[in-house]
Homo-oligomer: A and B are copies of this chain.
């Protein structure tokens, strides 16, 4: 059975202006690969209502899961929750369970749960909350869309609480071999191998080490014995 598929949607002007370097894409990619969910596509859009809504509609219907990052804080540019609700035609309002979580958090700190902070309790109808042990404001899952914070530590914690609730497939195993030849010398043999092992995926990633060209050849698949067999053949073709 093929693995479940996923897409990611990163939301935020600060990524597209180059002010902030996104860290969540790389983290999610590694975690999903280990869990056996295939990340097929990532999109980054600005804090624009239509752009978010359209991307949520397209990606949530094309893949088994959609993970979003960013835009769920208390400020005017945090419009992710509203537009995820809109994409599914759901109402959104302050929800009692989310408000209670925020109230308890701010009471402990002696901080007022003001109007801006209360925005973070706006949850679409039918959504399940995602716990945020760091700063309380919850994420949520609506249908197959998992809405998480953009701050990396919070994103990572939220992902850790969702993943065990999902169905993973076979984790993708990979082996790699660094070959100190130009990629152009490696390409032919790797292509032949990839045709005979069509159930595996082959990648070739060029690098330079002390001025000499080499390439890292990576063989990936869910069947460990097949990956082993292909790697043995590759090693024979390029003995060091």
A204 to B70, CA, bound (A): 12
- Interface-located stretch among A82-90, A110-118, A139-147, A160-168: A110-118
Shortest Cβ gap from A182 to chain B (Å): 6
Interface contact A26-B21, CB-CB below 8 Å:
yes
Shortest Cβ gap from A190 to chain B (Å): 6
Shortest Cβ gap from A3 to chain B (Å): 12
Q: Does A2 contact B (CB under 8 A)?
A: no
Chain A interface residue count: which class?
35 or more
Query: Within 8 Å CB of A186, what residues of B?
Result: 75, 116
Query: Which A residues from 1 to 44 make CB contacts under 8 A with B?
Result: 10, 13-22, 25-33, 38-44
Copies in the complex: 2
Interface contact A188-B29, CB-CB below 8 Å:
no
A204 to B184, CA, bound (A): 47
Query: Within 8 Å CB of A27, what residues of B?
Result: 18
Interface contact A191-B75, CB-CB below 8 Å:
yes
Shortest Cβ gap from A134 to chain B (Å): 9
The answer to whether A203 and B77 touch (CB under 8 A), given A16-B29, A26-B21, A39-B16, is yes
Q: Does A151 contact B (CB under 8 A)?
A: yes
Closest 4 CB pairs of A and B: A116-B187, A18-B30, A18-B29, A117-B184
Show 17 A/B contacts (Cβ-Cβ < 8 Å), sorted by A: A15-B29, A15-B42, A16-B40, A17-B174, A18-B32, A19-B218, A40-B46, A42-B44, A43-B43, A47-B203, A74-B187, A76-B187, A76-B190, A76-B202, A114-B185, A117-B184, A135-B206
